[in-house]
Amino acid sequence: MLTSAVKARVSGLGFWYGNVRALHGLDMEIRDRKVTALIGPSGCGKSTFLRCFNRMHDLTPHTRYEGSIRLYPDDIDLVAKAVDPIEVRMRIGMVFQKPNPFPKSIFENVAYGLRVRGARSRALIEEQVEKALRDAALWDEVKDRLHGPGLSLSGGQQQRLCIARALATDPEMLLFDEPTSALDPIATARIEELITALRERVTVLIVTHNMQQAARVSDFTAFMYLGELVEFDATSKLFTNPGRKATEDYITGRYG
């Protein structure tokens, strides 16, 4: 398990909101086609960290990155000023806490990324949409109403629609920001199954406040606290034999 290639290397990553420092010199490696979970108490910076990977912070004025996140095999620095955030987002997809389908049909929701990238061929778009919906385990439920509104689906289906939307453009990495916190247990189980299956083809980074979820779906886990990376290890090791006292306190529920 530990032999997989490095997909991204985070070095000395810091992040500032104006004068407030939210992340302090993080260093870690994201393994290719593995699921890496980010856990930690509210406000520890795990979502802030996640959003550095697709430069979502660039949409907020007065924010600043330090250090680097190098994406392999191309070896480009995701947070470098010279790198266009739109190009980064073209390669790294994201699924949000609250399902956020667009006010469009199911089909157009999934086709969105392709259209944004200038895809014209109907046949190609239809093929990619079907493939993405199948990969997101949603095809059978929606194949007869592809032109119905995406917002008419249930919460769990909406979230799988958002996953299909992100998959349709064949991203190298998928970011999940607490993807099941707005869903019921059955819908949650389906999303978790899906994340586990996605590992075959894409590198996954998932933020979760649910430690059981991290234990169930991830290969590696990073524990963060107050904007710092406290411990990073294989999930099986971190949850059974944590190296740091703070990690142990958190996973045994003493705080957080």
Partner 1 sequence: MIEALLLLAGLVAVFTTLSIVWILVTEALPFFRRVPLGDFLTDTMWTPLFAEPRYGILPLLAGTLVTTAVALTVAIPAGTIIAIHLSEFASRRLREVVKPALEMLGAVPTVVYGYFALAIVTPFLQKLIPGLPGFNMLSAGLVIGIMIVPYVASVSEDAMRAVPTHMREGSYAMGATRLQTALRVVVPGALSGMAAAYILGISRAVGETMVVAVAAGLQPNLTWDPTESAATITSFIVQVTLGDLPHDSIGYQSIFAAGLVLLIVTLAFNVAGFLLARRFREAY
Binding site for partner 1 (CB under 8 A): 54, 56, 59, 86-87, 89-90, 93-94, 96-98, 100-104, 112-113, 115-117, 149, 151, 162, 165-166, 169
Nearer to partner 1, 2 or 59 (CB): 59
SS3 253: coil
State in angstroms the smallest separation of the CB of 152 from partner 1: 9
State in angstroms the smallest separation of the CB of 180 from partner 1: 16
State in angstroms the smallest separation of the CB of 117 from partner 1: 7
Q: Round to whole Å and give the CA distance between 32 and 187.
A: 27
Nearer to partner 1, 62 or 122 (CB): 62
Contact 135, 127 (CB under 8 A): no
Structure tokens at 90: 């073209």
For residue 96, the 8-state DSSP code is -
State in angstroms the smallest separation of the CB of 53 from partner 1: 11
Nearer to partner 1, 71 or 229 (CB): 71
Is the torsion defined by CA of 42, 44, 238, 36 positive or negative? positive
Structure tokens at 232: 């990073």
State in angstroms the smallest separation of the CB of 169 from partner 1: 7
Residue 112 exposure: Cα atoms within 13 Å on the Cβ side = 19
Nearer to partner 1, 117 or 147 (CB): 117
Q: Round to whole Å and give the CA distance between 186 and 228.
A: 33
Nearer to partner 1, 115 or 245 (CB): 115
